[in-house]
Amino acid sequence: MNLSDLGKHTMRTRKRVGRGTGSGRGKTSGRGNNGSGQRKGKKIPYLGFKGGNLPYYRKIPKRGFTSPCPRIYEIVNLKDIARAVPDEKEITPETLKTANLIKNTRTPVKILAATAGKYSCKATVKADAFSSKAKTLIEQAGGKAECLKR
């Protein structure tokens, strides 16, 4: 197979602008008539720019606090643990990773109590955080909820 065997539509020529009015892309070269879009190197500064007016995100009041480095947990429900690893004696982030319940063992894991019925696994569950209901359900089933220090 040669390059000459390829069809017409596989290679596109680049648009040549500014080559006179007869070319179809002359005079303003497809940039419009006036304004910042026609000037060389001048782009609209940022998202929300309103032509020099005050943007909406600066008009609305700011309330509350958003942490610059929030702690994001991998969430695991007790019903998923009971379904995926029912016969384990110790459930760690590595166990949850092998059961495909979490993606990464280095990110902190939080156990939640989204379960339809009673939780019945008598296992020691090791995670970075627990909801209060999940902790009580694990202890009522005869297991232990241990917080990891990482």
pLDDT in tens, the chain (150 residues): 677 776 666 667 888 999 998 888 998 888 888 877 888 887 777 788 887 789 888 899 989 998 999 999 999 999 999 999 888 899 999 999 999 999 999 999 999 998 777 888 889 999 999 999 999 999 999 999 999 987
Q: How far is CA 54 from CA 34, 37, 48, 57, 133, in A?
A: 22, 20, 9, 8, 47
Its pTM stands at 0.58
Residue 136 is predicted with a pLDDT of 93
Structural domains present in the chain? 74-147 (3.100.10.10)
Residue 9 is predicted with a pLDDT of 61
